[in-house]
Amino acid sequence: MILAYDIGTTFLKAAVVSIGGKVLASAQVPVRMVETHEPVRRECDPNTWLSGMSLVTAQLGLKEKGRIRAVVVSANGPTLVPVDAEGIPLDFAMTWMDRRAHEEADLIAEFSDTPLDASFYLPKAFWIMRHKPEIYERTRHFLPCAEYVSFFLTGNAVRIVPTQMFRDFFWNESALPHLRMDQEKFPPFVDVGELVGTVRTEADEMLGIPAGIPVIAGGPDFIMSILGTAATQTGRTCDRAGTSEGINLCWPAPVHDRRLLCFPHVVSGSFNVSAIISSSGAALGWAARALGTGTDDIGALLKDAAMAPPGAGRLLFLPFLTAERFGVWDSHMRGAFIGLTLDHGKREMMRAVVESSGFTVRSVLAVMEEVGCHAADLRVSGGLARLPLWCQARADITGRKVLLPEQEESDLVGNACVGFYGLEEFDTPAEAAENLVRFQKIYHPNAGSKQAYDELFAVFTKACAELGETFQRLSTEP
């Protein structure tokens, strides 16, 4: 059995997974962000990750501790934590949503052939050096989220990469001397599936994870979702939807287009052509709060929304409630309902919000097709995958089959794939995924909805292009 943890933006989850891919026990607790009124500042207290792990471990029970063969931790990213030599955080973590390092990213680009977004690790570390020099001087290690936890578990500081080809995307070592940054603050790289160390007594006492158990490198949560949906062959696409949404297509050749991200895939010789959508689950949660009495109303709201026709009575929603990455790549974009009339109510508004992320995903797939890629299907993962309306609307809007795994939180199954690969039960993580991942349902596109969605998608695309100047004016203080 593998003890798997995933630290998300909204929830921290844990599971015990068998070698057959069955989740034997699972638990989750909420993750709370640090409250701030600065739109580009998004922080989290790293200590809450450890306290959350203690809670979920207690919920799991771990009655058969002797059968646990390894621990694997994955986490959201790019999220960065500066720690001292003992692993104690020196400041709040700068999460993947934090956009303060725009200027730093531009400066690093002068010394790097790899494009780096402001959300990436090295721009954040450079921002700390420039704006919080006292923190920078005291920092022994800059650690991503999963590696911070692995350091607490084992006492070993590492940086986990899916393959060594990822190194420059995390922190480009050749750029460090030009930036006058200390190389020693950046831990060595290890591959997904490598042994990080074993659980220390201190971690056993605090978290309840048995001391001496191997800790195997997990790393980025999107890699775990790719494995947990078996999106490991050409054309298979992982659609990971939580607070944000990631589209990850397995493709045999690299793609060079500034609208898309392209990384080496965890499958050797393949590439991960991807895009990140900032406000999927976040927009749905906002709608539940705005249209209902709280997030507990989301089930009833969605049940009612399913009774509205496809297209929500010709009502569109633009889901750009935070700084958007894919497509517009514009921090000034805003959300908006377009086409509201007296005939529209909560039902149509909620359905429009559900459909909005489907239109955004269709935009992603359209760009992929422009550069010669083709997504054969969408393998969904994350909290939104549990919602039938969301899955069916996605199939109808994109024209792709939507495959729902037996375990919707497939990143935990992906952790298990990595764990069993690290224990040499499988030759590759992809082989482990083929053996562990199963699907419970396939949503097929409904041809009857296609015409309505095709027309609205054209309107959606035009609105995104034409409203940019309006949104920029709204986001600028007078």
pLDDT band at 15 (very low <50, low <70, confident <90, very high): very high
Q: What's residue 327's pLDDT?
A: 54
Q: What is the mean pLDDT of residues 408-413?
A: 86
Task: List pLDDT tens digits, range 16-38.
Answer: 999 988 899 999 999 988 988 88
pLDDT for 440 beyond 70 = yes
Q: What's residue 293's pLDDT?
A: 65
Phi, psi for 71 (deg, rounded to 5):
-115, 135
CATH 3.30.420.40 assigned to domain 230-478? The reply is yes
Boundaries of every domain in the chain: 2-223, 230-478
Task: List pLDDT tens digits, range 187-220.
Answer: 999 999 999 999 999 999 999 899 999 999 998 8
The per-residue pLDDT of the chain, averaged, comes to 90
pLDDT band at 331 (very low <50, low <70, confident <90, very high): low
Bigger pLDDT: 471 vs 398: 398
CB atoms under 10 Å from CB of 178, counted, come to 13
pLDDT band at 68 (very low <50, low <70, confident <90, very high): very high
Q: What is the mean pLDDT of residues 33-50?
A: 90
Q: What's residue 439's pLDDT?
A: 94
CB-based contacts of 352, cutoff 8 Å, min separation 6: 312, 315, 316, 317, 337
Bigger pLDDT: 352 vs 477: 352
> Both tokens of residue 42?
């998004």
pLDDT for 239 beyond 80 = yes
Q: What's residue 337's pLDDT?
A: 95
Phi, psi for 7 (deg, rounded to 5):
-100, 105
Task: List pLDDT tens digits, range 127-185.
Answer: 999 999 999 999 999 999 999 999 999 999 999 987 777 777 677 778 889 999 999 99
Percent of the chain with pLDDT over 90: 63
Fold match flag (2-223 vs 230-478) = yes
Q: List, in sequence order, every residue forming a beta bridge with 335; answer none if it has no partner.
A: 319
* Nearest residue to 93 via CA among 164, 33, 152: 33
Q: What's residue 65's pLDDT?
A: 74
CATH value of 2-223 in 3.30.420.40, 3.40.50.300, 3.80.10.10, 1.10.150.120: 3.30.420.40
Q: What's residue 175's pLDDT?
A: 86
Task: List pLDDT tens digits, range 384-396.
Answer: 888 999 999 999 9
CB atoms under 10 Å from CB of 309, counted, come to 11
Tell me the C-alpha to C-alpha distance, in Å, between residue 159 and each of 93, 150, 263, 284, 442.
16, 10, 17, 33, 37
Helix then strand then coil, % of the chain, to nearest 5? 40, 20, 35
* Nearest residue to 245 via CA among 337, 365, 106, 415: 365
User: Which of 94-108, 290-304, 346-360 bottoms out in mean pLDDT, i.e. has the lowest?
Assistant: 290-304
Q: What's residue 325's pLDDT?
A: 57
